[in-house]
Amino acid sequence: MSFPPNIKRKFWGKLFDSPIMLASGTAGFGEELLNLNCLAGVGAVVSKAVSLKPRAGNPPPRLLETPYGLLNSIGLANPGVHHVLNHILPETSNLPCPLLINVAGESVEEFADVVSILESSNVHMGYEINVSCPNVADGGAAFGVDPEVVLRVAMGVSRVTARPFSVKLTPNGGDMVLSAKAAVEGGASAITVCNTFLGMHMDWRTGKSIIKRKVAGYTSPALLPLVVAKVWQVSNAVSVPVISSGGVSHGEDVLQLLAAGAQMVQVGTRLMRRPFAGAELMDEMKKLTGE
Ligand X SMILES: Cc1cc2nc3c(=O)[nH]c(=O)nc-3n(C[C@H](O)[C@H](O)[C@H](O)COP(=O)(O)O)c2cc1C
Positions marked active-site: 133
- Is 25 near ligand X (CB under 6 A)? yes
Task: Kindly report whether the peptide bond that precedes residue 61 is cis, defined as omega within 30 degrees of 0.
Answer: yes
Convert residues 176-195 into a mask of x (bound to ligand X by CB under 6 A) and - (unbound).
-------------------x
Stretch of residues binding ligand X (CB under 6 A), selected from 31-39, 172-180, 199-207, 241-249: 241-249
Nearer to ligand X, 152 or 230 (CB): 230
Number of residues in contact with ligand X, rule: CB under 6 A?
26
Of the candidate residues 209, 235, 245, 263, the single one contacting ligand X (CB under 6 A): 245
* Bridge partners, residue 142, by sequence: 134
DSSP letters for the chain: --SSPPSSEEETTEEES--EEEPTTSSTTSHHHHHTT--TT-SEEEPPPB-SS-B--PPSP-EEEETTEEEE-----B--HHHIIIIIGGGGTT-SS-EEEEE--SSHHHHHHHHHHHTT--S--EEEEETTSB-GGGTSSBGGG-HHHHHHHHHHHHHH--S-EEEEE-SSSS-HHHHHHHHHHTT-SEEEE--PEEE--EETTTTEESSTTS-EEEE-GGGHHHHHHHHHHHHTT-SS-EEEES---SHHHHHHHHHHTEEEEEE-HHHHH-TTHHHHHHHHHHHHH--
Nearer to ligand X by Cβ, of 13 and 224: the residue is: 224
Q: Does 26 bind ligand X (CB under 6 A)?
A: yes
Least distance between ligand X and beta carbon 62 (Å): 9
Interface pick for ligand X out of 21, 39, 76, 282 (rule CB under 6 A) = 76
Residue nearest to ligand X (CB): 25
State the nearest-atom distance from the C-beta of 195 to ligand X, in Å: 5
Please state the closest distance from residue 6 (CB atom) to ligand X, in A: 22
The contact pattern for ligand X, residues 249-288, with x = CB under 6 A and - = no contact, is -----------------xxxxx------------------
Task: For residue 168, state whether it binds ligand X (rule: CB under 6 A).
Answer: yes
What is the biggest distance separating any 2 CA atoms in the chain, rounded to whole angstroms? 55
CB 87 → ligand X: shortest distance, Å?
Answer: 18
Question: Which range in 17-25, 52-60, 182-190, 230-238 contacts ligand X by CB under 6 A?
Answer: 17-25
Residue 24 found at the interface with ligand X (CB under 6 A): yes
Pairing of the two strands 165-169 and 190-193: parallel
Which C-beta is closer to ligand X: that of 49 or that of 176? 49
Query: Which is closer to ligand X, CB of 76 or CB of 150?
Result: 76
Binding site for ligand X (CB under 6 A): 23-26, 48-49, 70, 72, 74, 76, 102, 130, 168, 195-196, 217, 219, 245-248, 266-270
